Structures are given as C-alpha cells and as structure tokens.
Structure 1
Amino acid sequence: GLIGLAQTVQMWHPLENDLDLDFCGTWRHGRVSLRLAVDISTGCNGISISANRSTLSINGQMSAQCRWSDVIHLTDQFGFDSAEESNFCLHWEPLLDQLKLQLRGKNFTLCWPVSLQGSCCTDLSFGPNTPEAPYGITKGMVKNDVITDKILTAYNFNGTSINCSKGEWMLSVIVMGPQAVGLVEHPCARSTEVEMMDDFRGYNVTWPRTQGVSAESTVTVRIPTALKQAAKLTNKVVCTFFKNNSFFQESVKNVRILNDVVGITVENEIIINLPEPVRVDFYHDKTHSRTCVSWDTRKDPLQVNWLTEGCETRQYGPNHTECLCNHLTYFSVLVTLEPRPVCHLLALSVITSVGCAVSLISCVALIIYLCRKSKRSKEQRSIPIHFGLTVSLALLNLLFFFTGVLANVGGESVCAWVAAGLHYSLLASLTWMGIEVVHTFWLVYWVFCPTPKACVWNLVGFGESLPAVPVLILVAVGDIYGMRKVQQCHDRSDPYLMCWMKDSNKAWLAHYFINMTVLVIVVLSGLVMLFLVYRQIRTRDEWRQKRVAFLSIWGLSCLFGTTWGLTFLSSGPLSVFFIFLFCILNSFQGFFLMLRFCIVDWMQRHTSVSAPGSSSTGSTRQHMLQPQETS
C-alpha cells in the first residue's frame, strides 16, 4: 500500500537538490485518444507531472516570464497511435526559463529560452508521494536515477527561488567604457548588455576568451547603428553567448549545431527587417558545409525551427563563418549531415518537372519511330537495344514526374510501391546504357563476331539479372522504400515529399552498394567507350568538321549515360552549377535521345539523295553518330 510505496520512494535520495530538472518516465495509458495538457505560469511553487488514462498533464508555477495554458490533442494533431504506453522526458532549465518535452521522439518546446534571468526557480526537490493507479507514470527517473517502478498518478517537485546575481552563478560584473557594457558570466553562458546612447555608432561585442579556450573558438557580434532607431521602448540590447548548446540542439535529423549560440535581444520588443544587418562572426574548427540560421517559432508554436530566412551566410575559409541577419533572435551555424538540404529546390523542381514531361513525350515518339523502323530494317539488331533504353527512360520520367503528387496523396503504402518502381526504372535505364556500351564495343572491335540476339539483351535489361533482382531483394528485406523528405535550405520545417528510398541506415547502405556501384560502372565504361570510339574515327576526314565531331560525341554521350557522372561533382565550390547541369541534362535525356535519332535519320536521308561519290562520307558520319548500325 501507501506505506510500502513511501519506503520505495524514500530509497531515492540525491545527495543534493538539482539546479535543473531532467525527468523521464513511461506514461501508461489506454488505447484512446491522447491529449497533452499544459498549464505553466510565473512563480516558484514547483512543477507537477501527472497522467491518467488519456491525458498527460504538466502544471507548475516556476517560470520567470513563461505563461501558457493549452490542451494539445496528440492523436488528432500528431497522429499518435493507440499504443498502451509512451516514453517521455521533461527538461527544465531555470537559467534560460526553458521547458522542453520529448514524447515518443517528438520535441515540444513549452517555454522558449530567454535571456539570463535575475532570479530563477531552481534547487528542485522531490515532493509528496502520490497514490498508485492502473494508469499513470511508471519507471520515473531523475537524471538516470530511478525513483520507483510502480505506477504513480503524479510526480511533484518543489522549487526554490534564488538570486542569479549572487554566488557562483555570477562570477563578475565589469564596466567597459562610456557605454556601460556589463558582463555577466556563469557556467552555461555569458551575457553582455550594451547601452545605446544618443550618439550610438555601432558596437562590437566579443566573447571573452578564458584560459584553455583557443583563439579560433571565439564569437564577435557587430551591433549596427540602425538598431538604435529600431528599438522604441529601450536603449539596451543584450548579447548572450551560450557555451552549452544542448539547450538549443533540437532532435532535427541530419542537422546539428556546429559550435556556439548567440542570443541578441531587446527587452519586450520584436526587431525585424533592419536596414543594416547584425553581423555575427563565428570562428570554429574546420568544416565545409555551414549555414547561418536563426531560431524561429512562428510556424509551429510547439516546436522551434532553425531557419535561414533573414540571414546571409559568408564563408571565409574553413574556420570562419560570418552571418548577416536583419532581425534579432538566437543565431548559430548549422552543419549539415547526410543528406544535405537542397538549395534552389523550387527552381530544380520546375526544371525536373518540365524535363520529365518533355522527355516522356519524346520517348513515346521515339518508341513509335523505332517500331516503324524495325519493320523496314529487320536486320538491324541495335534497334531492340535502343527500344529497351527508350522504354526504361519513359517509365523513369513518368514515375519521377508524379512522385511528389503520389507522396502527398497516396501516403506511405502507395509510396512504397511507387518508390520500388522508380528504383527499378532507374536501374533499368542505367543497365540499358551499359548494354549500349557493350554492344558498341562488340561492333567496333569484334566486327566479325555475331552480336547476341534481342531476347538476351531484354533478359539482362529488364529481367532476372539487372535490375529486377536487387529490387525484389530490397522489397523482401522491407523498410527500404517509402516516403522521403527532402529538406530545403531556406525552410527545414517544410520538406519536399517524394517516393524513394527512406532516410534510414538500411536504405543508405542499399543506395551506396547498389545505385552508386551501378552508376560508377556505367559512367566509367561509357567514358572509356567514348575514348575508344574517338580513337577509331579521329583519323577520318569527316572528324575535321567540328560540327560532325561535336554531334558524334554528344550523341554517343546520350546513349552511354556519361552525364550521370555529374552526380559525383555535386560538392565543392561549383556544386550549385553542377547540380543544375545534372538536373537539366538528365531530366531532358529522353528529349536529347530523340533529337539524336532525328539528326541521324536526317543525315541518312541526306546521304541517300547525295551524289554516289559522297556515299562514303555519309557512311562515316553514320558510323560516328550511330556506330551500332555499321556492322
């Protein structure tokens, strides 16, 4: 009963009360619609975490500025399923007046961080016991110390108000110059207050280095003159340098904070659209992928998002990043992990959509052309190979054109099958490009050997070897294909949805082991084949005509898939250029392929009506532009 429970709880007794609170537990609830009830107000009476069959409640009077009362419907708004229990963790940081909840892997910011407080509700201690119940909180832990395994209806923590300007929380207060700049230092952050006088002409604030901190690990803020005119209610601006960025490191996938966080605030005012930007210089360890961001809560009041909107990034070598921002908030530098966010996503999407549509129409026209040509020239064994490549490209463009729509409309179940089909058509296209390379080599160097029949090429290109087997294996493994979120550089909270391989370890392993391996083989073999064909035809008279030489290399490149090699150049100083070039060339590949066959057909007809003495020239041009026909 309660006596036994009291004895169990009393076994947990930390040596001293905690300045902040890290409480984790398991919410045992029913298979019903779930809710989160929050009621936070100012004061310092403490905090209570309670739960019943349908509601997890967080109530407390412990904040300096945060006031919020609301009920969030977890099942309706966030799609929580009807499991019997949910794991959660609650973190309270009194120094920043920040309260965060992690529930089922989702982060909810209940109180947003503010500047350093003059007084804090801290020194938390475990409060009175609560009764057992079939529904409630079990396995309650404070900083990994288990309180009890029993199911309690509530956990209560008492708080004590302390003066943050006394004791160890404030190490020093100094006055610098006539502008009365005060420096406050404590274990987590340093706060500098700058008073903007009537003759204010801007001011530089630098994170003072302490012993053991390298010169490369500093931050400098340039407060612009324009801020004096923008601030209407006060002439003081506070710069806070946070040493510990764990308060700001939300569980955003594939993104982490590089180094420091700087908060620039004017009390009780929102400063935006400054005519002269705030300049923040971050000096850090070497890294390549950096983006200046600011912390924003406008789109989702429960979750804080890092956005690039309003900030410009300037990189000076691998150790120095300058952020120019036209508003005041918290600033930092994000480092991008795999996969990298896509910049210019709208422009790339438009190019891809137009290219896929044009290529699809071109492939359909080319299929009709090849069917008619095969009836007139049945002896040409290269036509089935061209036909296979065209069909696979048509399927690839069709699925890729609709992948975004199907991801948003069809959901996860439909997206898994679309992703598998898209992967199959991609592998089929690359396989047929490889077959084009092998067939060309066969005709150029093994002139007197008969080429394999069309059924052999179809078996390789569409059937049991490549690409059907890898796709079937991945489908059998499971959790590979599905909905993929492509993060945008300017807004990470609104990703582009498409059907492709998931963002998981298994999917990435399959991508590198299968896709990249096939891509490397096709691109390298295509480049080698281009070089070998060049050696065969460079001594001919027609090669000296630049137009014919260009059309020869360009036409064979369309067949051999060498343009896909641009994907290996999508990093570095010219990454944006190569990404756009890759997008244009490969989305319009079906159109370029049709254009190549049109040119070849025109030159063949032009040769047929020329004088007999020019027939060898036409034959040579045909060999350069379409070597498969010259067996």
Structure 2
Amino acid sequence: MMARVTASLRAAIFVVTLLSAAGSSEHDLFLEFCGQWRHGKGPLSLDISVSQGCAGISVTANESSLSVKGSITAECQRTDVIPLDRSGFGSQGDADFCLLWEPLLDQIMLKVGGRTLILCPPSSPAEKCCTDLSQGLNYPEASYGIVNGRIRTDHISHKTMMGYNFTGLTTGCKVLCDQANETYVEGFQGTKHPCALRSEGAMSRSFTGQTFTNVKWDKQESSTTVYIPPSMGLATKRASAVSVTFYKNNSLFEAGYNEVKLLRDVVEITVGNEVIANLSEPIKIVFKHDVISRKHKRRCVSWDTRKDPLKVNWLVDGCETVKNGDQNTQCLCDHLTYFSVLVQLEPGPVRHLLPLTVITSVGCAASFFSCIAVMAFFCRNRRRSKEQSVAIHLGLALSLAFLSLLFFFTGVLVSADGNVCTWVGAMLHYALLSSLTWMGIEVFNTFWLVYMVFRPSPRPAVWYLIGFAFPVVPVVVLAAVGDIYGVLEIANADDVSEPYHMCWMKITEPKALLAHCLTTMTLLAVLVLSGIIMLFLVYRQIRCRDEWKQNRVAFFSIWGLSCLFGTTWGLTFLKFDPLADFILFLSCFLNSFQGFFLMLRFCMLDWIRKQADRSVLSRTSSGSAKQHMLQPSEKS
C-alpha cells in the first residue's frame, strides 16, 4: 500500500513538472554561476572541455585546477589546459570566479583571478539552443573546491564543494530571440542581450559584390551597413557563402577596457573556415551611431582571434578610419574577423607606446649613470672651485638621478604586492617635483649672476632646503588625503589589450587629476615660462661678447642652459596634430636623456675651457658655463 502511494506521488510530481515546463513561455537567457575557488599554493591551471549538444555542464575545482566540462554548445568545441598566473589570485587561497553561459550567442565567458577569459567566442545563431540549465547532483565536500556557490544572487551552498552539475533543455533559438528582444535582463554587466542577426550571401569566382544591412533593432533605424567587394570572390579557395553577423550590446567585447569605449554594434564577417586577409579591395563597414564629440577620437578596430583566443584583442592593424560627421564612421578593412569602433575616453590611448617605452627606459638608464658621473666630476673639483653654482648643479644631478632610477623601475614595481606601488608613486612624484624645483633654482641663480653681480647669492644650505624639503610638503598632503597614488594604466592605441602599467598618480580619478594639475602641471608651467624668459635675457646679455662668437661655446651654452632651465618640458604642452607624434617622440627623447645631455654639456665645456686661451678662461670654474658666459665683460 505504501509503495503504491509513493509511486502515485512520484507520478503526480512528474506530471506537474511537465505541465509547468510546457505551460511556461519564459526561458533562461543566460546562466551565471559564481563562487570562490579555494586552491593551494602550487601552480594553478584551467581545464576546459566543452562540446556540442545539450547534456549539461559541470564546474569542479581542486587544489590546483578549475575545470569547466560539458556538452551544451551549438557550434563551439574546445579542449585545453591553460596555466594561470597566480599574481591575480592574491595570497588568501580563495579566488573569485564567475562563469557565464549565453545560449543565444553560443558564448561561454569565465572571470577568474582578475582576468576575463573567453572559452567560446560569440557565433552566428543556431536553430537549437541549450538553455534552462538547472542544478543537478552536486559533488561531495572537500578541503579544496568551490566555496559559496551561487546562481546569480541565489546561494546554493556556503560549504566547500568539489563541484556542481547543471543539466539543460533544448529550445528553439528563435523562441529565445523573440524573448530577448522583448525583455531586459540583468546580465553579466547589467546590459541588454538581444540575439545576434545573421545574413548570408553566395560566394563564387564571379562574385560581383554585395551589401548587407542589419534589420531594425528596438524599433530604431538600421545602424550598420556592410559592403563586401568583388575581390572577396577571388580570395576564396572554393565556392562558399559569406556570413555577416550583427551583434549589439554584448558586454564581452568590452571586457577589460576602461580607457576606451566600444560602440554598441559589432560586426563579424566570415567565409566558412577560411582565413582571408590582404584583400586588394577593402571591405566597407559603415556604423551609424549617437553623436560623438570631436574631442573623443574614434578608430576602427578588429579582433585578432589568433594572438590570444582567450582575450578580446582589438587592433587597429588592417583597418582605415573615415569619419563622416559626428554620427557616422566608415571602416575600410582588408581581412575578415569581428569589427567595431573604439571611442577614446580621457586620458586617451597613446600611439607608439612600445617604442616610447623603450626610449624612456634607455634614456632613464643613461641619465642615471650620467648624473652619477656629473656628481663625481663636481665633487672631485669642488675644492678647487669657489663657485657656489656647483652646489646647485649637484642638487639637480642628484634629483635627476633619483627620478631616472624610479622611472626606470616603475614598470617592474607595479606588480609588487601590498602598497608598494602607492609608495613608489609618491616617491616618483616627489622626485619629479624636486627635479623641477632644482631647475627653477638654476633659473633664479642665473638671474642672480646676471643682474645681481655685486650682491652675494644665498648660501647652498638654503638651496638644499628648498630643493629637497619643499617638494615633500605637497606629497605628504596628497598622501594624507589618500587614494591619489597607485597603479596607472596607460592604454595602447595600437593594441588596447596590452596597456602599460606604472606606479604614479591615479589621474583617471577626478581627485588625483586635480592634484596632478595643481602640483605638477602648475610647477611645470611656471618653470617653462620662467626658463624661456631667462634664456632670452641671457642671450641679450652675452650676445656681444667675444667668446659668444665662438660657435661651439655659444651652442653648448644655450643648449646647456635649456636643459638646466627645463625648457624642454615645454614640449608637453605642444602635442597638437599634425605634428603630435613627432613632438611626442622629441619630448620623450629630450626629457628622458636630460641627465645625459647635462653630462655632455659639462664635459664639452670643460674640454673647450682647457683648449682655450688660459689667460682668458683661467677664472672660470670647471664644468660651469654660467660662470664663464655670465661673468662681467671686464673680467672676460
């Protein structure tokens, strides 16, 4: 009797489940499963094994590996074991992760250890979608595994489990597409997820070109048009079909980018499984979008899926940007992949970042050793020289050496744990302010030598107090305010997926940007303006002297004074098109090699002094152009 009742209850529950499933018109548009991976201290890896079908998916974890395995995709097949860098996992033994499955796009994305990994990239819509994933039988508890497992905001278990199973149901993709176009859901980053739209065209050697336009989205006019040129037919190895897929509002394409913003529209162009590049006639893609201000640069980009399939790598290579007003951008591209438009935010991406980084590193290394040589030179000759300018030269050389050393290692120290980067950023800011202050002291000292000949100049102790103690004040105040110094990410315009990180002020934040303008930029503007004025006054004062007629002395005097006065930093304010790249490289070269140029100046002037008439230059100090060039004419 009891067995009959139990069987009847099971049958009733089964019938109710079927009826509720059949009567429901709502399907899950995505699965978001999150938790913490409790791992060990050894090497870590990601084990991926996904295939076509709708049997289900499992997420498991142990001491060294996080695994995503199952059969739920329409087209994607991937089997791989990927080593993971421990630098993004911290030292606590628990790493946050989230797995997102979107059946409409056949897309699987995993966020773990601060990285966003694309296990299955977006693809064209299929006929059948695997959705409505429900929790199946869980794995047992363990010392290592998944803690605080949850589906969206619903917690499954707070215990440490070896893993979780999810089973799915097959549903028509058109049903999901209609539901997605009518429903706003709380997606992976809070965006709307409509289905992708695909169009196909026959391809052959006699192909004459074809235009594809996406249909209306959200009752708005079409926003993207693609023209496939006749050269595509000649580039294909066999008769096939060209597929153009339009994506919209897919947060995956923007994963990991903060300094640039991607348009809502992304276009994928494929021809079977063929790799087509270097077309003789480019593909023309016209994006119609909202008004983009002229101060925000936009560039056509394509996703390089070969460099790192796990990351979205937007590159400008192979695409030309044509701007047709504030609401229209045309892209001319010579290959097939995903295409879109990146819009520059503030601060904008830096072009030629790699060569600029190399120049800066080499220049800082050369400047550091040059400044050490300058300090050794002046210390050796200080007893024989009574000139007080030597103390100022020593202070400038010391501050520049410290600045060059910190700037050289900032790209390495940025990956250090704890608050190391915060301290390095504060010290780098201090070194820069100190160097600029010493250049300002050089300007003031020159003014004193030229116009206050019969008055004694301030003692060296006063200069040391100003040059080294004064910059401490703003740095300490900013450090006390907090959240000013830290990691600064500089976007690479040539490859936005490979930004440069350094320890500096967080100028992407309004508070740090204001502090940067009030301290660094203000001091820099005052220095450059006063330096230019003093250069003009010095030139007017010494242009009629006999020694000025010697071209070598004149050149090294003005060039050396330009370095001492910091006027080369004025190039920072002159980065305007069409010479922006040239000025950027020139500024980078002159400022990073500034210590080297100072050493060269002092060495050359010392050599000139020794070669000149002893009776004329006997009263000049070794290595000092100002005492020689700025002394009274009757002593010359």
Q: TM-score range by the shorter chain?
A: 0.7 to 0.9
The structure 2 residue matched to 1:331, chosen from 333, 339, 354, is: 339
Whole-Å separation in 2 of the counterparts to 1:286 and 1:546:
56
Name the counterpart of 1:181: none
Q: Assess, with a 3 A threshold, how the Cα gap between structure 1 residues 258 and 625 changes in structure 2: closer, same or farther.
A: farther
CA apart distance, 1:386: 1.7
The secondary structure found in structure 2 opposite 1:107 is strand
User: Does the CA contact (< 8 Å) of 2:301 and 2:341 recur in 1?
Assistant: yes
The structure 2 residue matched to 1:121, chosen from 110, 117, 130, is: 130
Name the counterpart of 1:394: 401
Whole-Å separation in 2 of the counterparts to 1:161 and 1:212:
26
Whole-Å separation in 2 of the counterparts to 1:290 and 1:318:
10
Q: Assess, with a 3 A threshold, how the Cα gap between structure 1 residues 609 and 83 changes in structure 2: closer, same or farther.
A: closer
User: Does the CA contact (< 8 Å) of 2:397 and 2:595 recur in 1?
Assistant: yes
Whole-Å separation in 1 of the counterparts to 2:177 and 2:126:
14
Whole-Å separation in 2 of the counterparts to 1:351 and 1:342:
14
Name the counterpart of 1:345: 353
User: Does the CA contact (< 8 Å) of 1:279 and 1:322 recur in 2?
Assistant: yes
What amino acid does structure 2 have at the position aligned with 1:232?
K
The secondary structure found in structure 1 opposite 2:544 is helix
CA apart distance, 1:330: 0.6
CA apart distance, 1:210: 6.5
What amino acid does structure 2 have at the position aligned with 1:327?
H
User: Does the CA contact (< 8 Å) of 2:542 and 2:630 recur in 1?
Assistant: no
> Are 1:542 and 2:517 matched, yes or no?
no
The structure 2 residue matched to 1:58, chosen from 62, 65, 68, is: 68
Whole-Å separation in 2 of the counterparts to 1:17 and 1:166:
8
> Are 1:97 and 2:106 matched, yes or no?
yes
Q: Assess, with a 3 A threshold, how the Cα gap between structure 1 residues 624 and 219 changes in structure 2: closer, same or farther.
A: farther
> Are 1:22 and 2:24 matched, yes or no?
no
Name the counterpart of 2:459: 453
Whole-Å separation in 1 of the counterparts to 2:62 and 2:361:
50
> Are 1:585 and 2:594 matched, yes or no?
no
CA apart distance, 1:52: 6.6
CA apart distance, 1:102: 1.8
Alignment of 1:306-321 (within 5 A): 306-315=314-323, 318-321=326-329
Name the counterpart of 1:43: 53
Whole-Å separation in 1 of the counterparts to 2:108 and 2:303:
16
Percent identity of paired positions between Structure 1 and Structure 2: 44
Name the counterpart of 2:172: 162
Name the counterpart of 1:195: 202
Name the counterpart of 1:224: 229
CA apart distance, 1:42: 1.3
Whole-Å separation in 1 of the counterparts to 2:538 and 2:116:
63
Q: Assess, with a 3 A threshold, how the Cα gap between structure 1 residues 606 and 73 changes in structure 2: closer, same or farther.
A: closer
CA apart distance, 1:566: 2.0
1:414-457 Cα distance to aligned partner (Å, 9 max, x none): 87776666544333211211211233344455555532200111
> Are 1:256 and 2:261 matched, yes or no?
yes
Q: Assess, with a 3 A threshold, how the Cα gap between structure 1 residues 610 and 225 changes in structure 2: closer, same or farther.
A: farther
Name the counterpart of 1:300: 308
Name the counterpart of 2:504: 501
What amino acid does structure 2 have at the position aligned with 1:255?
V
The secondary structure found in structure 2 opposite 1:375 is coil
> Are 1:244 and 2:246 matched, yes or no?
no
Whole-Å separation in 1 of the counterparts to 2:364 and 2:95:
44
> Are 1:557 and 2:562 matched, yes or no?
yes
> Are 1:383 and 2:390 matched, yes or no?
yes
The secondary structure found in structure 1 opposite 2:232 is helix
User: Does the CA contact (< 8 Å) of 1:21 and 1:93 recur in 2?
Assistant: yes
What amino acid does structure 2 have at the position aligned with 1:43?
G
5+ residue gaps, structure 1:
1-5, 172-185, 616-620
CA apart distance, 1:24: 3.5
Name the counterpart of 2:525: 523
Alignment of 1:121-160 (within 5 A): 121-122=130-131, 124=132, 126-128=134-136, 130=138, 133=141, 136=146, 138=148, 140-142=150-152, 144=153, 146=154, 148=156, 151=159, 154=164, 156-160=166-170
Q: Assess, with a 3 A threshold, how the Cα gap between structure 1 residues 533 and 628 changes in structure 2: closer, same or farther.
A: farther
CA apart distance, 1:21: 1.4
1:549-593 Cα distance to aligned partner (Å, 9 max, x none): 877654432222122132233465432122111012212323433
The secondary structure found in structure 2 opposite 1:383 is helix
Name the counterpart of 1:433: 439
Whole-Å separation in 1 of the counterparts to 2:269 and 2:342:
18
Q: Assess, with a 3 A threshold, how the Cα gap between structure 1 residues 257 and 540 changes in structure 2: closer, same or farther.
A: same
User: Does the CA contact (< 8 Å) of 2:487 and 2:503 recur in 1?
Assistant: yes
5+ residue gaps, structure 2:
1-12, 182-192, 619-623
CA apart distance, 1:92: 1.8
CA apart distance, 1:82: 5.9
Aligned length: 588
CA apart distance, 1:247: 3.8
CA apart distance, 1:115: 1.6
Name the counterpart of 2:7: none
CA apart distance, 1:513: 1.9
Relative to the length of structure 1, the TM-score reads 0.76
CA apart distance, 1:264: 0.5
Relative to the length of structure 2, the TM-score reads 0.76
What amino acid does structure 2 have at the position aligned with 1:367?
M
Whole-Å separation in 1 of the counterparts to 2:601 and 2:177:
79
What amino acid does structure 2 have at the position aligned with 1:588?
F
User: Does the CA contact (< 8 Å) of 2:314 and 2:496 recur in 1?
Assistant: yes
Q: Assess, with a 3 A threshold, how the Cα gap between structure 1 residues 309 and 530 changes in structure 2: closer, same or farther.
A: closer
CA apart distance, 1:91: 1.9
What amino acid does structure 1 have at the position aligned with 2:275?
I
